[in-house]
Structures are given as C-alpha cells and as structure tokens.
Structure 1
C-alpha cells in the first residue's frame, strides 16, 4: 500500500491585538478542516513586524486557543521539525528567498514614499488591503539614478509582476481569475528591512509543508501575488479556502479592537468556551442552532459546503445569543 503524507494546515495570527470572535472562527474552521482529514495542524506566530507585535499578546493567543479546546502538532510552545515557529526568528530564510528572487532579476529597488504613490496621476486603487496601485516609477531607473537615490534614502524592494492572468480554485469562492499586474509591482522588503507579509507567508507555508491554507476572505486578493512568488521560488502552492468575515450589524468588519468581542472579555463575563465554539459553529453553518460543544464534537460536522459564501452579520439577535446566555438558554 502506498504511503500518503497527511495534509497540513496552520493558524498564523499576528500578535498586534487580542483575539476576537472572528479570529476564533478562522482558527476553529482551520482546525476542523485538518482534523476531519486526520491531518497535522501548526500554530505559527506572524510577528515579523516587531513594532506592531507584542510578546504578551502572542502568549494571550496561545492561551485563548487552548482555552477554546484547540490543539496543534507543531508550534512555538512545543517546537517541531520546521522550527522556529515565530516569524521574528526566521529572517535568514527570508533573506535566502530574496537572494533567489534577485538572482532571477525579479526585484528592483524602490525609493517612492506613500505620498509619492498617492500623488502619481496614474495610481488608481490596487488590491483592497494595500490602497493605491504602484505606478512603476522606479522599475526602469538607470543605474546612475539608482546610485544617486541610494545616497538619499534606503529603498524598499519590489517584485516585478508579469502581465499575465493567474487562475486558481478557492474552496469557497470557487474559480478565480486575476491579473496581478493591475495591482502593480508589490513590496517584498520594506525600506526599514522588514519582510513583507506576501513574501514571509509564502516562504513559511512552503518550508513548513503546508498543503491547505484556510484564512479570511479579506486575503483572497493577496492570493494571486502569492502564487507568483510560489512560482518564482519553485514552491508547490497549497490549496486555498477563504472564509467569510464576521461583520457588525451595519456590515463593518470586526477589528481586533472590537469592544466586548475579544475572547478575554467573553471569558471574563463567565462565558464558557463550549458556548463560544457552539456559537461559531452555528454562525458558520455547521450546526442548526447554538449549543454547547467542543471542537472535537464538531469534527464529524465539518463540511466546507456548509460554510456561508457571504459576510456573516453579527445582528443584535446573534450578539445576544453570544453575550447574554442567561436570557437565551441554549
């Protein structure tokens, strides 16, 4: 009988705020996807931007996940064959990837500020998460001009995006066709030396052997760029699933600073983890009504087809089911 490697998934939070109910949904669905296939689940802390990340918040994330009843096979607290599991400790790997891209003539230095890009007449909006499209100002600078600008400021490094169509199949959004060039050449290393999310996540997922990526729908438009990097670096891309976000009653996306919806707040109100897990499972379409369940209870109920395709609205009724359990018995 042939041996089949287990599928591998991950939850990769940024420790810049407390975990809220939306983060918990992503973590739970990612865990269920992997455990339902007897796969391996990895926890990775995306703390590459040390100015935004805080160690105590990373510790809080680990505590929150364990409190919910989630576990993982590899991670910063237990190690594993692909350590380290904190991005802040993986700079040598990112540097190696940059060298490979540079050797293939796929990078160029960029001296533009955000104000320069915004002011450019030919800078329409790019991908939703990054604002204005980069107009390509520095892509064709002469060597003499590059040397002149180097004396004035440190450059970022941008990836040369080819003018081609990228297609892929998302587990929820379905068939996708994008032209990444419409978003412009993108940064892979900032001027301050920090590696961009786009490059770091590709390197980490590839080197950790991640086969399945489940994350929020807000990252769907980053996927074509990441697929370009997978191709350029010679990596095999994972399968992608982009889940709907949780929004408030007006449709505004929940943020890490959303008052009253952090797991630490809910825990402080005496709300038990089984109630939160049950509420998430109900909101995600896995069960018909909120009930007290553990993550393990939900493994047989995980079916990707059950997950909504659109934003999940946190209506007042849904909020009451979560925040006022005494008045709304499960």
Structure 2
C-alpha cells in the first residue's frame, strides 16, 4: 500500500467532543494524528466538536486541553493557539453551518424530510421483515410542493436530509485498502435536526473542507460514515465550500478490553485520569498506546516520542483489533521510569510526597533522606504513586504495618530472632554493609538464612515484607529509630503471646 505523501501540505485534525473524561482510545487517536503530522512536517488542527449542548460541558473541554498539555501533544491550530480558520469550537460556528445547509437545500443536494419517528420505525420494521436494508427509504426525496404544503399545514416538523448519489462510492483507506459501499447500504441521512441544530454528519465534513484537512485518521467505528462524508465533500465542492479536495481516510483498529470487547468509556481502565492519578509518565503511556495498532520494529517495544515521529507511517498501522494489556502498559512505563535522570525522578515524585497523597505530617518529610533512597526506589517502581508506600516508613512516627506482612514474618521464634538481631544492630557501625552482617549473624545463630532472618526486621521497621533494600533503608532511617521500632515489635509480640 502506498504511503501518504511526505509534504508540508499535510493537515490532520483531532476533533473530540467534550463529554466525560478523556479515554485512552481517544488519546491513541490523538497520538497517531500528532505523530503523522510531525513526521510529514504538517499541521495538526485541534478542533472541539461541541454542538450537543445536552452532553457537552466546559469542564470536559478544559480536561481535554489539560490532558493534551500533560501528554505533551501540542497542536498548531486550535483553542489557545488560534489559526487562520478560527474559531475552532463548533458551538461558535453555528451560523456558518446554517448557511451551508441552506445552500445544500437550494442546490438540491439536500431536502426536507417530514417523516415522524413512528412512521420511520414502522417502515424499518417492514423492511427488516421483508429482508431489505432498513435504512431510510427516501420517501420524502420526491415530495411535490403540494405534499410539502400539506405536511406544513398538519404542523409537522422537518429535518434536513442529504441526498446520497445512486451509485457506489469507492475509496482507498490508508489502513484497510480499497473499500466500496453500495447505495442500498448508504441511505440518505440527516444533517440538521428539526430544531435547526446541525448534526455531526454535517459539521464535521464542513469543517474539514473549510480547514483544508488532507488526511482523516480516526477510529474504525466511524468507517461506515465515510461514504456519506465523501458524498458530502463532493457536494460542498459544487457549492463552493472549501478547496474542492477530499481528504484521504485511515481508520484505526479497535482497542479491545477485557473479554475481547471493544474498550469503552465505561471501562475503568479506559480513563486517562486513572493513569495520571496512578503516576504513569506521559512518555511511558504514549509509548504503550502507540503499540495498539503500530510498531516501530518487530522486536522492539520501547522508544521515545521523537523516535516514533521519525518512524511513523500510517500504512504501517495494522487493521486488526488491538488488545489493551494493562500489565504490559505498566511494564513499559516502568522502563521509562528507570531511564529518567534521578533528579527528574525526584521531581516527578513530588505530588505523591505531599498532601493529599502523603499519609505523614508535612513537617515530618525529610527531603535529604528521600533523595538518598530515591535511586533505589526508582529501580523498583512501576508507577510514581507507588513511591508513597515505599518510603512512608521514613516519615511516619510508626510504620504502617500490613497485617498480612506481620502474620507472614512474625511466626513462632521471630521474637528470639529479633532480640539477637537487635543486639547486633545496636553494636554495629551504622552503614548498610555492617547492618547486613549483623542480621546475617543473627540468622546464623538461629539456623536461618539471610532472607528468613531479615523478614521480621523488615516488618518491624517498615511494616511490610517487601520494599526498598532493607539495609540501605535502615542506614537512612538511623540507629535510634530503627532500634525503637524493633523494641516496639518485640513488645507487641509479647502481648500476643
């Protein structure tokens, strides 16, 4: 399949509706458009499709902008940037759509449809029963002026329908190859509601034409609307709207969730906010999302956004559905975390070291102590939010003891081991190597290897059986606090005996 042309004339658009929270499927679409535009030295137009007043919200609009900024996906035209085709919010372009609809009516490319919802449903049922396509049957296509006047006299309302051509529509999809849609499968469709509000089916192609969009990269769920839009582009060219060109289309594969079902906004793991709250890095999340339908090489999963831009071609996108794998997403994020300069990692952890995420008193936080352990934490985290549980023992007055960890480590004989270990720790030089030797020696006295011997010490001091390297942690925590926590654990064991 031929690649899209490499040219500064490439213009793509990302045009979400401001409804609800941004989801990962939407981000994948934004990413592919962004990478395509950057690869070809083109323009990314960010457009807001907010003509549905009942569903759109200003809060969602602000979230969209904030999300793209957080991800680092910049745009060349659109909100907060401006451009030659402003405004870029469809709610601010309503007069334009009304004018285009009127011109389509005058030119015969559209007509008024007076059918009621009940009439339409009855005819659809009859068509299905007869084994015919159940789309609109074109009843109002050829109404006489007298019939139209009669409908008006009845007080009926009308919508505006676009008149589809009576021949097949063929186009070459940049992902799926050549596709043909026959007239019986693409009936006339509504473009203006009875209340005069324009529909997506009108405003989207009108804006594409006026904004000179050259390539439309969007989800596979919109594939069935493409022949309708192509027909509308042709009609718009005839009435002088736009430059007369038709964008090339590429339909991106579905993103599948659990149970091999299409990932939807309702799936918890689809919400972008979830990944921000858990502390995914933008570059880690985008790296993974780029793999949902595309790859930089067969044997390579980790790469930077710059590397993606350099390699990205739309004809390399796979048409088959892509499965969202949270574990792989986390693993890729972890690789990006470990590759960060330590200073950047420390700065990125900041939100999880302060209120409301941090469970310790603000004045208890010791930045120097955290920075000592940060390099060790960096090698173990999957997402940034995990830093809180990994270092809370440093800043809490008492460790947040996990009951399961206590039960696992504090088995019969743990008290004797702890007493021996405490004595060794009290006499040891306070560095990780000497502390390890003290616990190792305590274990040998009780017939335990280091792994078994250090478990009660770890739970006594940190509250958990897993965490950062124990002896480096003890070194940073300090002799006084370490011994006090061992004493507290021994006291608890005595009470439990």
- TM-score where L is the length of structure 2: 0.60
Which among 179, 185, 190 is matched to residue 188 of structure 2? 185
Q: Distance in 1 between matches of 2:168 and 2:186?
A: 12
| Residues 1:20 and 1:132: Cα distance change in structure 2 (over 3 Å) | farther
Equivalent residue, structure 1, for 2:232: 229
**How far apart, in 2, do the equivalents of 1:231 and 1:220 lie?**
18
Shift of 1:22: 0.7
Please identify which structure carries the higher strand content: 1
Out of 93, 96, 120, the position equivalent to 1:93 is 96
Residue 149 of structure 1 corresponds to 151
User: 1:64-213, aligned counterparts within 5 Å?
Assistant: 64-120=67-123, 121-124=125-128, 132-150=134-152, 151-213=154-216
* Residue 426 of structure 2: aligned partner: none
Match of 1:55 in 2: 58
Q: Report what 1:264 is aligned to.
A: 273
Write out aligned runs for 1:242-321 (5 A).
242-287=251-296, 288-291=299-302, 293=304, 295-314=305-324, 318-321=325-328
The alpha-carbon deviation at position 284 of structure 1 amounts to 2.7
Tell which structure's C-alpha radius of gyration is larger: 2
- Aligned partners of 1:292, 1:239: CA distance in 2, in Å? 28
Aligned equivalent of 2:329, options 306, 319, 322? 322
SS of the counterpart of 1:158? strand
Q: Secondary structure at the match of 2:233?
A: helix
Cα 1:213–1:297 change in 2 (3 A) is same
CA distance in 2, matches of 1:29, 1:19: 16
Equivalent residue for 2:16? Answer: 13
Cα distance, 1:289 vs structure 2? 4.7
Distance 1:181 1:156 in 2: 21
User: What secondary structure is seen at the aligned counterpart in 2 of 1:305?
Assistant: helix
What is the aligned partner in structure 2 of residue 128 from structure 1?
none
Quote the offset at 1:323 in angstroms. Answer: 5.0
Whether 2:242 is the aligned partner of 1:239: answer no
* Aligned residues of 1:275 and 1:292 also touching (Cα < 8 A): no
Give 1:205 shift: 0.6
| Bigger helix share | 2
Q: How far 1:226 sits from its partner (Å)?
A: 0.7
Q: Unaligned regions of 5+ residues in structure 2, if any?
A: 1-6, 238-243, 335-379, 384-497
Deviates more, 1:4-13 or 1:269-278: 4-13
TM-score of the superposition, structure 1-length normalised? Answer: 0.89
Output the CA distance in 1 between the equivalents of 2:165 and 2:9: 34
Change (3 A) 1:140 1:55: same
Distance 1:21-1:118 versus aligned 2 partners, 3 A rule: same
DSSP-derived class of the 2:9 partner = coil
- Find the aligned partners of 1:275 and 1:94 in 2 and give their Cα distance: 40
Kindly state the Cα deviation for residue 123 of structure 1 after the two structures are TM-superposed.
3.9
Alpha carbons 1:14, 1:47 under 8 Å: kept: yes
The one of 31, 34, 38 aligned to 1:31: 34
Q: Relative contact order, CA 8 A, sep 6+: which one is greater? A: 1
Paired residues of 2:8 and 2:40 also in contact (CA < 8 A):
no
- Cα RMSD for the two superposed structures: 2.3
1:44 aligns with 2:47: yes
- Measure the CA separation in 2 of the matches of 1:266 and 1:292: 19
Cα displacement (A) at 1:328: 9.1
Which secondary structure does the structure 1 equivalent of 2:194 belong to? coil
Q: Which blocks of at least 5 consecutive residues in structure 1 are unaligned?
A: 126-130
